[in-house]
Amino acid sequence: MQFENTREFARQLDKDDKLSKYREEFIFPKVNGKDVIYFVGNSLGLQPKSAQKYVDEVMKDWAELAVEGHFYAEKSWWDYHERFSEKLAKVVGAKSTEVTVMNTLTVNLHLLMVSFYRPSGKRYKIICEEKAFPSDQYMISSQVRFHGYDPKDAIVEIKKRDGENNFRTEDVLDKIREVGEECALVLIGGVNYYTGQVFDMETITKVGHEVGAFVGWDLAHAAGNIELKLSEWNVDFAAWCSYKYMNSGPGNASGCFINEKYHNKKDIPRFEGWWGHNKERRFLMEPEFQPEPTADAWQISNAPILAMAPYLASLEMFDEVGMPALIEKRNKIVAYLEFVLHEIDKEVDSTFEIITPAEQENRGTQLSVFLHGEGKELFRYLMDEGVITDWREPNVIRLAPAPFYCSYEDMFEFGQILKKGILSKQD
């Protein structure tokens, strides 16, 4: 399609957009009396209007049924988490028995490493990407120390080549093969939080297995954003937060994937609690743990129903629309945003460098943009004008037009505001 940087063209794209009606299903903050242009769905998704209804249902059941709500609420609490399985499995490309919802992201990664980071002898090293999201860095380092190893020796970071913004798949594979039989675990963010680069998870998983390592993925920036095929790729485990592209609310519950080949294995190390115990016998209060035959065996405590209610509300929309339709719009709206940025770049005495890969298969919703010659004052100007984005040092803004609620006219309007901000500074 030949794009045009005009409001009329953007409005026509919105008119033709089959998902445009879902914009009305979300609540937008306002700045200067107008709905904001919201580019931070990669940090915290907007609130679905249906979220309040789902929370109110739980509050009503709690008020009217109290403890009996565990069994007699319309959405009974004792199996509330099971309502996620089939719908969430479609989002991440898994079998319904391989996914569960519990805890929060870094907590779940720690718990999964109990099962999948099992250093022994010379096989003790973890491969991750350099400058991973800080929580991952802290988590991996603390796990290594817990097992008695020095992080400087046990953690192997894959690095970018000098002068390049993104990782090369061949460098990742070469490093895995180089570490070889010393590698216990490969654990990488499936979508890089800084640049928005999508890793070749299928190939990396395959090569990790070839050297005898477990392979897991932090999918915080991937779930609800890109196509995932965790079962088909034979991933060992994965975890993701639900509050970014999946719009569940701040700090909310995390999703987990555990490959079915590890289900029903009595010898697998795992921290256990009564919510992972055979649900048919859970209330018999037996002293011996009998795991659920699914990913639910990794559950520990009662499901946090009030927290999970908004997640379920959002997931209903994902199930209604489907990832293929979301990805189709994502590709088009990100391409249009990219076009608008290049057009504005021609009109101002400035240089934008998009450091996110240009190839569609190597990126998701996010574009990370170096604003050469611009400082943080431009970011503040955008925020004051109702463009909600985020800043990463030294001078990068991340733009993530979530396809559920961002419009093509938003992309055009952002370009006009950006141009005005740069030109006003030059005057």
CA–CA separation, 280 vs 278, rounded Å? 6
**Over residues 164-184, mean pLDDT:** 97
Name which residue leads in pLDDT, 279 or 339: 339
Q: Looking at the domain assignment, is residue 47 inside a domain?
A: no
Q: Which of 293, 321, 349 is the last residue of a domain?
A: 321
Q: Looking at the domain assignment, is residue 1 inside a domain?
A: no
Q: Which of 288, 321, 354 is the last residue of a domain?
A: 321
Q: Looking at the domain assignment, is residue 311 inside a domain?
A: yes
Q: Residue 218 corresponds to which tokens in the numbers above?
A: 């932090």
- The per-residue pLDDT for 126 is 98
Confidence grade of residue 43 (pLDDT, cut at 50, 70, 90)? very high
Helix H, strand E, coil C: the string for 4-68 is CCCHHHHHHHHHHCCCHHHHHHEECCEECCEECEECECCCCCCEECHHHHHHHHHHHHHHHHHHH
Q: Tell me, yes or no, whether 317 and 339 share the same domain.
A: no
Confidence grade of residue 427 (pLDDT, cut at 50, 70, 90)? low
Compute the half-sphere exposure of residue 34: CA atoms within 13 Å on the CB side of its CA. Answer: 12
412 neighbors 37 (Cβ within 8 angstroms): no
Q: Tell me, yes or no, whether 356 and 298 share the same domain.
A: no
Write out pLDDT tens, residues 78-110.
999 999 999 999 999 999 999 999 999 999 999
Q: Tell me, yes or no, whether 303 and 326 share the same domain.
A: no
- Of the chain, the percentage scoring pLDDT greater than 70 comes to 99
Q: Tell me, yes or no, whether 34 and 167 share the same domain.
A: no
Q: Is residue 266 pLDDT above 90, yes or no?
A: no
Q: Tell me, yes or no, whether 185 and 105 share the same domain.
A: yes
Write out pLDDT tens, residues 338-392.
999 999 999 987 678 999 999 999 999 999 999 877 778 889 999 999 999 998 8
7 neighbors 409 (Cβ within 8 angstroms): yes
**Over residues 45-67, mean pLDDT:** 98
Instruction: Kindly tell me the sign of the dihedral angle through the C-alpha atoms of 408, 224, 204, 142.
Output: positive
Question: Domain containing 76: what range?
Answer: 52-321
- The per-residue pLDDT for 14 is 98
- The per-residue pLDDT for 401 is 98
Q: Tell me, yes or no, whether 98 and 174 share the same domain.
A: yes
Q: Tell me, yes or no, whether 228 and 370 share the same domain.
A: no
Q: Looking at the domain assignment, is residue 143 inside a domain?
A: yes
**Over residues 115-138, mean pLDDT:** 95
Q: Tell me, yes or no, whether 66 and 160 share the same domain.
A: yes
Q: Tell me, yes or no, whether 409 and 275 share the same domain.
A: no
Domains identified in the chain, total number: 2
Q: Is residue 265 pLDDT above 90, yes or no?
A: no
- Residue-wise DSSP of 55-108: HHHHHHHHHHHGGGHHHHSTT-STTGGGGGHHHHHHHHT--GGGEEEES-HHHH
CATH of the domain at 282: 3.40.640.10
Q: Looking at the domain assignment, is residue 107 inside a domain?
A: yes
CA–CA separation, 397 vs 402, rounded Å? 16
Write out pLDDT tens, residues 305-333.
999 999 999 999 999 999 999 999 999 99
CATH of the domain at 421: 3.90.1150.10
Q: Tell me, yes or no, whether 18 and 111 share the same domain.
A: no
The angle at the Cα of 169, spanning 370 to 154, to the nearest 5 degrees, equals 95
13 neighbors 3 (Cβ within 8 angstroms): no
**Over residues 38-48, mean pLDDT:** 97
- Of the chain, the percentage scoring pLDDT greater than 90 comes to 89
- The per-residue pLDDT for 426 is 64
Q: Looking at the domain assignment, is residue 23 inside a domain?
A: yes
Q: Which of 321, 345, 365 is the last residue of a domain?
A: 321
- The per-residue pLDDT for 132 is 87
190: Cα separation from own chain's centroid: 8
Q: Is residue 175 pLDDT above 70, yes or no?
A: yes
Q: Tell me, yes or no, whether 133 and 153 share the same domain.
A: yes
- The per-residue pLDDT for 248 is 97
Residue from 93, 174, 105 nearest 135 by CA: 105
Write out pLDDT tens, residues 210-258.
999 999 999 999 999 999 999 999 999 999 999 999 999 999 999 999 9
Name which residue leads in pLDDT, 427 or 2: 2
Q: Is residue 1 pLDDT above 80, yes or no?
A: yes
Q: Tell me, yes or no, whether 304 and 402 share the same domain.
A: no
171 neighbors 161 (Cβ within 8 angstroms): yes
Q: Looking at the domain assignment, is residue 326 inside a domain?
A: yes
Q: Looking at the domain assignment, is residue 2 inside a domain?
A: no
